[in-house]
Amino acid sequence: MQRRILIVILVAFCLIIGSAAQAAEKSASEVVNALHASLLEMMKDADALGFDGRSKFIEPVVTKSFNLPLIAVMAAGEKNWKTFSKAQKKQLIAALEDLSVATYAARFNGYSGENFRTLSEQPADQGTTYVSTELTQGDGGTIPLKYLLYPGDSGWRIVDVVFMGVFSELAMRRSEYGAIYKKGGFDGLLTALKQKTADYQAGLLQ
């Protein structure tokens, strides 16, 4: 499964960006560490910020940390992506960004002694890199988080997050969005993304 994802990432990357440039100043681990530092800062001030404040805080962090155009290609499916117009592609990327921001704002809504720790950085296939980390919870329990990053024109950017060493966020999105697209086409997919964002904003999801 992971090898399949890596191969498809390379193909999708070429579709929308072209040949990968060398990673810029920040290493893959530094990108992940910066994301974690921002999440901790937001969590510690979560109550004062509220959902809207957390969304505004984390939005620029999400855009700097993740390769959203590439994730959009992967999540929608390469074959489907080729059929979208330029306007549709922009709409889908924007909707995915809004959903990502809302997800972080909803889930990281408080602080009780959590901390992140980076464990290792390992090269993977096709120029990608895995950064292995763990989230230590207030009760001492740990949650493994493994990030897959690709070096694009703007440097290393995250394209997938693997939870507990098993659950790939990108794979789950591909499965969910593929089913929605098959049933409702582009409009159905876009509506579903916007509805999920609205549900996070309304506190119906976390």
Q: What is the pTM of this model?
A: 0.86
Residue 133: pLDDT band with limits 50, 70, 90: very high
Judge whether 147 and 157 are in contact, CB under 8 Å: no
Quick check: 1 pLDDT over 80? no
pLDDT (0 to 100) of residue 60: 98
- Number of neighbours of residue 164 by Cβ within 10 angstroms: 9
pLDDT in tens, 9-44: 444 444 444 434 444 468 999 999 999 999 999 999
Does position 206 have pLDDT exceeding 80, yes or no?
Answer: yes
Confidence (pLDDT) at 130: 97
**Who's near 204: CB < 8 A, 6+ residues apart?**
none
* pLDDT tens digits, one per residue of 136-165: 998 999 999 999 999 988 899 999 999 988
Does the pLDDT at position 134 exceed 70?
yes
Mean per-residue pLDDT of the chain: 90
Q: Measured between alpha carbons, how far is 204 from 206 in angstroms, rounded to an integer?
A: 7
Rounded CA separation 118/37 (Å): 11
pLDDT of residue 31: 98
CB contact burial 77-88 (16+ within 10 A = b; e otherwise): beebbeebeeeb
The pLDDT of 61-89, averaged and rounded, is 96
Q: Are 20 and 12 in contact (CB under 8 A)?
A: no
Residue 176: band (very low, low, confident or very high) from pLDDT cuts 50, 70, 90: very high
User: Is residue 20 within 8 Å of 157, Cβ to Cβ?
Assistant: no
Mean pLDDT of 62-81: 95
Which one is predicted more confidently, 26 or 117?
A: 117
Q: Is the dihedral of CA 97, 98, 103, 105 positive or negative?
A: positive
Give the CATH number of domain 2-201; options: 2.30.30.50, 3.40.30.10, 3.30.30.10, 3.10.450.710. 3.10.450.710
User: What are the boundaries of each domain within the chain?
Assistant: 2-201
